[in-house]
Chains A and B, each alone.
Chain A
Amino acid sequence: MAVMTSTLSKTRKPKAGKMSWAARFGLAVIALYLFIVLFCSWIAPYGQTAIVGMSMDPWSAEHWLGTDELGRDLLSRLLYAIRNTAVLAFTANALAFIVGVSLGLSAAFKGGWIDNVLSRLVDSVLALPQLILALLMLSIFGNSTGVLIAVIASLDSMRVYRLARAAGMNIVVLPFVEASRLRGESMIWCILHEILPNVATPLLAELGIRFCYVFLFISGLSFLGLGLQPPAADLGSMVKETSGLISFGDFTPLIPAAAIALITVSVNLVIDWILHKNSGLE
């Protein structure tokens, strides 16, 4: 997605070094979300599970976004939901990257049967629909937060593996890797000092794209009632809980959904800008 727009904007000739308004907007939104994640227990007017009003109160000065059917303040829930979903997505994504990158680069470095077995396995799993696999795994292992993170991280690490291996393959054949191999350096040293620095840019871009993907995936699962379990607030489950209001023409349920859309679009905008800057198209 990000790659597509970066080729698209090739014709636009932005001024060198100057940040596009889209990237500025993206960065501002990311900063805002970061602020919410760090300080939400201070800025939220009420707790995420505190029952503070009547059921389904409309918007008011006390409850800016009204209350849900249990009488919990929706604005506070929204802020906590952003934090919970973002932290969950970040943890799963970080885990996926650690596993995926280390296995992918090791496979690229070692080659041989290890690479063969791992790559065939990953290809086969990726040929299956991810959401269905996740649902199947959640129905087996239950849906506690730990299982949720493990399921998403393991599915996601497969894609990371594929990218890391492909990027690593181009590096391991270069003379300086050959030299360090002949010097008798260990595999881990070679990966950390020779290969990783040279594949960092595509991996960083992928980190952002996968974060969006995981964020959407978790929200989707929560929307289906299989993500973060109540009473903890989560953007996907908030949409589901308040969805009844839609039939009264009230757009409150769209707010948490829009919060998801806002962060994924913003991250994409920033990645586009980074990729564009690094591709040297100016």
Chain B
Amino acid sequence: MSTQNVTMPNPADGKSNAAWRFVGRRLLSSAIALFLMLTFVFFAVDLLPGDAAEMILGRDATAQAVEALRHDLGLNLPLYQRYATWIVNLAHGDLGVSLANHRSVADLVLGRFGNTIFLAALAAALAVPLSLFLGILAALYRNTLFDRLSSITTLSVVSFPDFFVAYTLILFLSIRFSIFPSIADISSSTPFWDRLYASLLPALTLVLFVMAHMMRMTRAAIVDVLSRPYVEMARIKGMSPLYIILRHALPNAWAPIINVVIFNLAYLITGVVIVEVVFAYPGLGQLLVDSVTKRDITVVQACSLIFAVTYVGLNLLADILSILANPRLRQQ
């Protein structure tokens, strides 16, 4: 897309700069958001009663032991130095040590994050094509019973709590009819197809949630384009409705669709938390909830940072791609 921007001589060169300025501004604001998160996460430890050394050693540690560990951890350095060291360590992938079981946080988090990404990717692979297809269908047969029904179902699903949908699916698909397992216990040694099968029901729950938004947006974007004169023209020419939608409407509706798709992928990444807990899926979300309950703050720090980076990154991508997908936005 960017090469297109360069090779095409643009009569209004100042205008295309505005788009890049917008991208720059978005990059900057994402960076600020992440910096806020980093700072907040860092000071989270300082706000706790006691410090990390006391927490690691527990209540019955001697004063000397606490002081020695404090020295080892660099806790007696001034705040700004600790903050700088923490960021440098983070940049090197050193996430610290879990307060609960003294294992390296990076080890704890890494495999779990892989599992979460697997689940989210599976849900996305099912949800994106399905909702685009249904959205196009709803636009094609708009104001019919199909359209009405699909909008009512999808809109009510999003007003349900996640666990309601999850348990309903479990009750019907794994208890009444034993099609899927109700608990997704997978490990790193689980073969790919077993892992896929075990993750299908949690993925299905997530699909139901993100589909509503994506499908409505696809429909709305296409219907919006359908009122344009060139679509009228195509219709008068005698083109079939499906041809008009695929050839004329869809290409001009990509920008909002791409935006909403990626936005929902970002939602998937954080929406997994509750679904993972319902299905006992060994992902990052479950680890986060467990650690919050145990107040294992270093693990909470690491998990929330990973979630935040993924979320902010995907939202940034959504905005940038939707500018690049639409020549009009590109030159605004």
Contact = CB atoms under 8 A, between A and B. Distances in A.
Given A5-B151, A140-B47, A224-B274, A219 B161 contact: yes
Contacts of A265: 156, 159-160
Nearest to B269: A129
A46 interface: no
Nearest to A266: B159
A128 B37 contact: yes
A212 interface: yes
B41 A136 contact: yes
B307 A246 contact: no
Contacts of A78: none
B288 interface: yes
B307 A132 contact: yes
Nearest to A133: B304
A220 B275 CA distance: 10
A65 interface: no
Contact of B170 (A5, A246, A261): A246
Given A4-B155, A129-B308, A140-B48, A258 B270 contact: no
A140 B171 CA distance: 36
A132 B304 contact: yes
Interface string B279-310: 00000000011011101010011011001100
Interface string B141-182: 001000000010001101111111001101100011000001
Contact of A136 (B29, B151, B300): B300
B289 A224 contact: yes
Interface string A257-270: 11011001100100
Nearest to B151: A8
Contacts of B274: 220, 223-224
B292 A226 contact: yes
Contacts, number: 145
Contact of B29 (A123, A133, A264): A123
Which applies to chain B's interface (DSSP): helix, strand, loop or mixed?
helix
A127 B300 contact: no
Contacts of B230: none
Contacts of B182: 246-247
B164 A124 contact: no
A258 B36 contact: no
B233 interface: no
Interface residues of B, number: 54
A132 B116 CA distance: 15
Contacts of A120: 29, 32
B90 to A, nearest CB: 16
Contacts of A253: 167
Interface string A1-29: 10011011001000000000000000000
A237 B51 CA distance: 32
Interface in A228-277: 236, 239-240, 243, 246-249, 251, 253-254, 257-258, 260-261, 264-265, 268
A99 interface: no
B167 A257 contact: yes
B332 to A, nearest CB: 20
Contact of A4 (B40, B216, B288): B216
Which of B161, B220, B301, B307 is the most central at the interface, judged by chain A CB atoms within 10 Å of its CB? Answer: B161
B44 interface: yes
A196 interface: no
B155 A139 contact: no
B311 A129 contact: yes
Given A4-B155, A124-B29, A236-B161, A139 B292 contact: yes
Nearest to B308: A128
B100 interface: no
B331 interface: no
9 contacts: A4-B220, A129-B266, A129-B307, A136-B44, A138-B292, A216-B161, A246-B175, A249-B175, A260-B164
Interface of B: 29-30, 32-33, 36-37, 40-41, 44, 47-48, 143, 151, 155-156, 158-164, 167-168, 170-171, 175-176, 182, 216, 220, 266, 269-270, 273-274, 277-278, 288-289, 291-293, 295, 297, 300-301, 303-304, 307-308, 311-312, 315
